A and B are shown apart, each in its own frame.
Chain A
Amino acid sequence: MRSRLFYKIMGSYLVFMLLSVAALTFLINREIKGGLTILVMALFSLLAALIFSRKITSPIRKMEIFTRKVCNGAPAGTLLVESNDELGQLAKNINHLVLQQQEKIKLVHKEKRKLASAFTAMVEGVMILNSDNRIESMNNSLMNILGRREDDIINKTLLEVFRNMDLQNALERFKETGEPVLQEITLGGASPIILDVNISPIQGLSGGDEKTMMVFHEVTRLKKLENIREDFVANVTHEIKTPLTAIIGFIETLEEGAIEDRVTAEKFLRIISEHAQRLNRLVDGLLTLSSIELGEIKLHLEGISVVHIVENALPVIQAKARDKKLAIHHDIPTGLPLIMADRDRVAQVILNILDNAVKFTPEGGKVSITAFEDGGGYVVVRIADTGIGIPASEIPRLGERFYRVDKTRSRELGGIGLGLSIVKHLMKAHQGRVEIESSPGKSTTVSLYFPCSL
């Protein structure tokens, strides 16, 4: 079966032949009369040939323009060729191809966007190194962790950006072995960030490029918790061990004959009793803490007056304060709203803070107690001293069990290291809070926020 295009081409070919024959006859005959007829014929055939050839070339020209547009990436639309022959079919096929290509591009874009948003939204920092070990790209998380702009990072080496020995060594280890490497690194000075870094190869790249992927996972908080736990275990054993050693030592001395000497024996027994009591206080403290934490302590909430609590606590403290020649001022206005609290527990909290204030204030200093309503539904009891103070960096750790700012001094002063921890938990149980401000060497102010009774 012959195609339509074949007939078209054959048609124009035939016309061209006719034209040529006519022209030839004209040249041979050179007869004016016959020649005119032939000239007319020839002109007619030329016109016909032109029309035929236009019919073929114009759709091809259209296709050429269209495909060029597609190649340049311009939005091309659809190719319109109204013809039933192969050219029409070709145009249809081109349209189909273009449509398919556009859909594929759309799909690729979509996938790329998906990957990019996953890359950006990841909590972990991700970085890709090129084959020269320079940073090729990184995600937003990593930039946030490092606190740097992209321009400061891209195309730099790890040493230029991080200047971290451990990281550099880890990369070299990875380069040597080709095995994935896990390394913990610490960045920064005053408040360091701890990161777990995974270094692994990127496989399946064309062109033999060896790229390296680094995933950074921030573990600062986890490390902190780990430290707190380790400190706690170390401290609790230490705190129990110290009085026990003393008790055992003195008992052994007594057994070895000191018991015969009545005066010494009494002195030793007193020391043993002191240490046993200290141990008892420690265990009590720990029990209190764990029962508050477990929510086992039932608070008997009632409307109570702050003035009343402070006045009850003062005589206990004043004895200690007199020994150190401290002045205690208290100025609590009458007419403060009642607070919603457990009488005994509030007394425990206030005594604890007052006891600390007296303990850490050198002779001749001053402790003052005030109270006011803060307007947000709280009554604030503020206890300020002129003591040794606490460095700002230590304040957040104060509520930790056994945490001591000055490890030697506070133990000398007889603390068990649980006071503030208990205070913090009790205040929390009361839906209140503790705020501590301090300037080292000058003063410390503790504010206790108790919710008002409704």
Chain B
Amino acid sequence: MLPEAGAFLRYQGRRHLQVALRRPSDIVGPLIFFLMVITLFPIGLGPDPTVLAALAPGILWVVALLSSLVVSGRLFQADFEDGTLEQLVLSPHPLAISAMVEVLCHWLLSGVLLALASPAFAVLLNMPSRAIPVLMTSLALGTLCLSLIGAVAASLTVALRRGGVLLSLLSIPLTVPVLIFGTAAVREAALGYDPSSWLALLGALAAGGCVLAPFAIAAGLRISLEA
């Protein structure tokens, strides 16, 4: 890597965070979406607290997945439209790492916030409070995986006119293991058992994703720009 790579990446990270923080509605919006969809479930399934408590881990995780899909669509859109993405591809710095910085900043403002806000939503669904720390950890790790997978799909669909639904179509099969491990961890914790093996698997997915996804994202971005 070039000697000024560190400064470049720090600048990239600062730019992404600054631009994102200038539009608070883009950050709060997905959280409100999360809240509204969670509200739909008791309305659809009935207000019985025991039923809701049993279904809470699954509901919270599925809605988190849907929120991450909604948010992933915007990941590279703005940079693609104003030409920043082309500059990133042409720059001498590795595209994989620039893309990774972008995904990490995006995750900090979407997934981590979701994980921090999740106790409130867990209370809405009457989930046992002993499972809440595990819920937060699993969501934090899981949304990292979901952001990475969403970024891979977003990099392939950013140049397409109607790429929104296609992005969901491509991401959802790949996110199934994350969903399985995340809900298993929260459910085990809600029942009082030890969730650490499931959390370890989530961590493994996150670690593997952090290593492999940037290359797929960089390849996808190059393909989209050439289209």
**Same complex origin of A and B:** no
**A residues whose Cβ falls under 8 Å from a Cβ of B:** none
